[in-house]
Structure 1
Amino acid sequence: MALPLLLAPVLAGAFAGGGTRRWFGGRTDDRRAQAQEAKDAAAQAFYELDTAQREMRLSVETIRAVDDSPEARRALASFEDFGRRVDEVSHRYIQAIDAHDLDRDDLDAATAGRAREQLSRARDELDQVRRELERFAEGLGPLLGKAETQLARLAPAVERARQALRNAAEQLDATRGAGLRADDLAARLAALGPELTLLNEGAGRHGVAATLQRADRVTREAEAVRAEAARLPERAVEIDRRLVSLRTRAEALQTRTAQVGPVLSELRRGFALACWQDLQSVPEQAERGVTQAGERLAEARAARQEQRWADATALLATVRALLNSADEAVSAAGDRLRRLEAVRKDPQAEVERARFAVRDAQRLAMAGRHRPDPRHAAPLDAAAARLERAAAAVEEAGRHPDWWHFLEETRAVREDVARVVAAIREEQAAG
């Protein structure tokens, strides 16, 4: 789509002096002068169009190197169309130049007039296409600005990636110097080597957008390696601390597990079967959890010695989860005994606690109303009735009521009431 490289000889012919020309007076001389002026003007228009197209090509190539969006592709296609139009009008201009030798001695007035007309028309076509090309260039402003911004980011982004790799390598060496192997970090850093090679090959081979993305990715990953290498000594200390802490916790929980048996015995002697039946498996569950935690703890200690940091961290998390589960089971037995003894001693206190929650919610439901909203009144009435049934069941059970069921019922009443209160407050907040 390049313009024919005829500009230099054309302009040379256009502006050459008339050293050997013989001029004749009269009308022919006037027409010859007018044709020469038209030729000079056409040559200038041709030069200006060529310059505009060259400048436009630089802008388009900048966009092509960076932007592959649909908008950019449409712009590139439009420029290709302009190229064909430039070729067409340039060809007609050159034909007009070649068709008329204005230095001929025998040039007549009619021929000079035709030359002037054709050259003027060629100039007008060249000017028209140039103006359209300039308007097209103005419309490319946003795309070009974006592309130039991307290009401006390129060199700094690549340099940041290289620096990040150097920093990661230096930090890794320092960490190894402290006696920590960091094999996994070294492997991650080595995997970035091919990426650095691609960066060094440049955007000319791989494209600006792809190179920018690669540089950003290498920077992030190298920085992550550097940061983890810098934290590794602290991480090793933290793993050592957790090993000691979890071992101490496991030993304490082993002692507490041995106390679950007496708690269950007390529950069996003082309360109905339904109050403690679900706790029968607690001793075995807790013992199994503590045993498994001890096994994983030994594995975590071995992983720490072998500097398998990720494995050690994961195993310690497993140990903690096992101990939490065992701790909850052991605590559940003791908590059950305390709650049952407290409600057996003063069941009315539990009833009053739930009853107060119901009444407080009822007052809230009536605030600013002559009668409560049925959406609130119905569940509150149901909660009050449920509470009364639970209290009556305890009275009717005699010496060995199901205190645990009673506690579960009062808890459920409070939860039902809390949901109604939350709904009322949400409606009030909404206006």
Structure 2
Amino acid sequence: MTATETQPHEQRERRRVRGGPLRDVVGLVLLPLPLLVAMVPVSFAGGGTRRWFGRGESQRADAQAAKDAAAAAFYELDTAHRDLRISIETITAVDNSPAARKAAEDYAGFGRRIDEVSQQYITAVDSHDLDRDDLDGAAVARARADLTRAKEELDRVRSELERFAQGLGPLLQTAETQLARLAPAVERARQALLAASNALDAVRAQGLRADDLATRLAALGPELTKLNQGAGQHGVQETIRRADDMLRKAEGVRTEAERLPEKAAETDKRLVSLRTRAQAITTRAGKVDPVLSELRRRYSAACWQDLQQVPEQAARSVQQAEVKLREAQQARDEQRWADAASLLATVRALLDGTDEAVSAAGDRLQRLDAVSFDRQKEVERTRFALRDAQRLAMAGRSTPDPRHAGPLDEAVARLDRAVAGLEGRHPDWWHFLTETEAVRETAARVVQEIRGARGGAGGG
């Protein structure tokens, strides 16, 4: 589009009127000569009219082109500024880091500079009316220079603005990623809350109260209100954090609610199982006295003195376990699942200790009978463990490491003393068994140390 085409309709109309006589001259061969003579002075005389063609009009067209170019530069800067504002608003809505705050401050500085160059452009446009008929060449030149200078300033600030916008790439990408997470995170939280509520309704329909779960779910109500208020009030990051927290808590309630029928069945099963076990231990504890009587009759006091209190301790422990079982049953009836689980764990611990103590008497008699009948089997078993450790200590060495040789030598001497201690009329077989067991433990520890050291050296 030419400069003339961009001029206002009124100006073009005005020029059409001025140019009309010139076009009429072309057809004056058909007019009377007096009329032609009368019209020519009107066409070429002064009187405020100017020639349409010539240097002046070319300068005016150049000035108009400069004005159009400045207008285009102003529009491009405004567009870039609006695009940048959207980017800055995106960043500041999500990010409160020092880098984001600096970006916002720099953007504000650009805003002030854009206002300055925009005002310069507006001033240049308002100062020069290129449509004036009496505009002289000097005024046209000034207009062109001012408008060109305004365009250059607009272009320069726009280039700086675009470079600044490019530098915001990482911050903007992070912010957009956060914003992309916002809506899905909120929706997931709401769906999780709904699923938890439905799960609670389902277990209540089965006669399970789930009061603690209902309390936990109700506590999420205020958080849901804040979530519904949106990121505009609470910020994007805080809203995402709240949504993730609600999702986690709601899923926890839903999972526990769905497991509640299974938990109830499991609690019932454990109650029955522990009652049966308590009865069995009571029965077995009644057989400890005959075992102790046999130990006292056949072996020295050192072999059985530590077992004297087992019957009494077993009875007391079983009695305590039965009390806890009744409390656990009451907790289950009241659907206090955590209390029931804790009480059942206490019952199990009591019965485990009692079972071990009751078994110890029978195991003691069996082991003492075996070693008193054939001590050599126990001795050979222990010597084999020692020889195995000694071979490993000497593997690849001319002399063993003192850290290994010392404990092994002491273990050999300890075994010899244990064997020698069996001489006499009433040998302490239990002491012999505990000593051989301790010797084997020493050998096993040395083997573990050697293998650990060599494995570490190989790994290094």
The equivalent residue for 1:426 is: 452
Measured at CA, do residues 98 and 371 of structure 1 come closer, stay the same or move farther in structure 2, by a change above 3 Å?
Answer: same
AA matched with 1:143:
L
The equivalent residue for 1:406 is: 432
Measured at CA, do residues 33 and 267 of structure 1 come closer, stay the same or move farther in structure 2, by a change above 3 Å?
Answer: same
Name which structure has the greater RCO, CA cutoff 8 Å, separation 6+. 1
Measured at CA, do residues 30 and 304 of structure 1 come closer, stay the same or move farther in structure 2, by a change above 3 Å?
Answer: same
Correspondence for 1:68 among 96, 105, 124: 96
Q: Distance in 2 between matches of 1:390 and 1:85?
A: 98
Q: Secondary structure at the match of 1:62?
A: helix
Please say which structure displays the higher CA radius of gyration.
2
1:4-39 CA distance string (max 9 Å, x none) = xxxxxxxxxxx6534468766766544443333322
Q: Which moved more, 1:302-311 or 1:66-75?
A: 66-75
Matched, 1:416 2:442: yes
Q: Distance in 1 between matches of 2:431 and 2:59?
A: 120
Offset at 1:292?
A: 1.2
AA matched with 2:96:
D
Offset at 1:165?
A: 2.1
The equivalent residue for 1:188 is: 216
Q: Which moved more, 1:105-114 or 1:421-430?
A: 105-114
1:46-86 CA distance string (max 9 Å, x none) = 11111111111112212222223343333333323322332
1:220-231 equivalent positions in 2, closer than 5 A: 220-231=248-259
AA matched with 2:395:
A
TM-score w.r.t. structure 2 length? 0.82
Correspondence for 1:124 among 152, 162, 165: 152
Measured at CA, do residues 322 and 33 of structure 1 come closer, stay the same or move farther in structure 2, by a change above 3 Å?
Answer: same
Measured at CA, do residues 136 and 386 of structure 1 come closer, stay the same or move farther in structure 2, by a change above 3 Å?
Answer: farther
The equivalent residue for 2:45 is: none
The equivalent residue for 2:42 is: none
8 Å contact kept, 1:39–1:120? yes
Measured at CA, do residues 330 and 72 of structure 1 come closer, stay the same or move farther in structure 2, by a change above 3 Å?
Answer: farther
8 Å contact kept, 1:23–1:29? no
Measured at CA, do residues 181 and 269 of structure 1 come closer, stay the same or move farther in structure 2, by a change above 3 Å?
Answer: same
1:161-181 CA distance string (max 9 Å, x none) = 222222222222221122222
Q: Which moved more, 1:39-48 or 1:362-371?
A: 362-371
Measured at CA, do residues 120 and 248 of structure 1 come closer, stay the same or move farther in structure 2, by a change above 3 Å?
Answer: same
1:42-53 equivalent positions in 2, closer than 5 A: 42-53=70-81
Offset at 1:182?
A: 1.7
Measured at CA, do residues 379 and 76 of structure 1 come closer, stay the same or move farther in structure 2, by a change above 3 Å?
Answer: farther
1:150-165 equivalent positions in 2, closer than 5 A: 150-165=178-193
1:360-405 CA distance string (max 9 Å, x none) = 122122223333333333332232223223323333xx22333333
Correspondence for 2:200 among 151, 157, 172: 172
Q: Distance in 2 between matches of 1:386 and 1:83?
A: 91
Q: Secondary structure at the match of 2:398?
A: coil
Q: Distance in 2 between matches of 1:369 and 1:108?
A: 113
Matched, 1:353 2:381: yes
Measured at CA, do residues 343 and 205 of structure 1 come closer, stay the same or move farther in structure 2, by a change above 3 Å?
Answer: same
1:205-228 CA distance string (max 9 Å, x none) = 222222222222222222222222
Measured at CA, do residues 281 and 113 of structure 1 come closer, stay the same or move farther in structure 2, by a change above 3 Å?
Answer: farther
Q: Distance in 1 between matches of 2:173 and 2:414?
A: 72
Measured at CA, do residues 94 and 386 of structure 1 come closer, stay the same or move farther in structure 2, by a change above 3 Å?
Answer: farther
8 Å contact kept, 1:52–1:130? yes
8 Å contact kept, 1:253–1:327? yes
1:339-350 equivalent positions in 2, closer than 5 A: 339-350=367-378
The equivalent residue for 1:259 is: 287
Measured at CA, do residues 399 and 36 of structure 1 come closer, stay the same or move farther in structure 2, by a change above 3 Å?
Answer: farther
1:13-32 equivalent positions in 2, closer than 5 A: 16-17=7-8, 18-19=11-12, 29-32=57-60
The equivalent residue for 1:378 is: 406
Measured at CA, do residues 366 and 106 of structure 1 come closer, stay the same or move farther in structure 2, by a change above 3 Å?
Answer: same
Q: Distance in 2 between matches of 1:85 and 1:403?
A: 101
The equivalent residue for 1:8 is: none
AA matched with 1:293:
A
The equivalent residue for 1:310 is: 338
Structure 1: give runs of 5+ residues left out of the alignment: 1-14
Q: Distance in 2 between matches of 1:307 and 1:43?
A: 78
AA matched with 1:405:
H
The equivalent residue for 2:276 is: 248
The equivalent residue for 1:5 is: none
Structure 2: give runs of 5+ residues left out of the alignment: 1-5, 16-48
1:89-168 equivalent positions in 2, closer than 5 A: 89-168=117-196
Q: RMSD of the alignment, in Å? A: 2.6
TM-score w.r.t. structure 1 length? 0.87
Q: Secondary structure at the match of 2:421?
A: helix
Q: Distance in 2 between matches of 1:16 and 1:348?
A: 124
Q: Which moved more, 1:218-227 or 1:318-327?
A: 218-227
1:243-299 CA distance string (max 9 Å, x none) = 111100011111222223333333334334443333333333322221111011001
Correspondence for 1:56 among 84, 88, 93: 84
Q: Distance in 2 between matches of 1:251 and 1:16?
A: 110
Q: Distance in 2 between matches of 1:207 and 1:275?
A: 75
Alignment: residue pair count: 416
8 Å contact kept, 1:182–1:307? yes
Measured at CA, do residues 84 and 385 of structure 1 come closer, stay the same or move farther in structure 2, by a change above 3 Å?
Answer: farther
Q: Percent identity of the aligned residues?
A: 68
Correspondence for 2:361 among 321, 333, 344: 333
Correspondence for 1:362 among 354, 375, 390: 390
The equivalent residue for 2:28 is: none
Measured at CA, do residues 34 and 320 of structure 1 come closer, stay the same or move farther in structure 2, by a change above 3 Å?
Answer: same
Offset at 1:124?
A: 2.1
8 Å contact kept, 1:38–1:116? yes
The equivalent residue for 2:267 is: 239
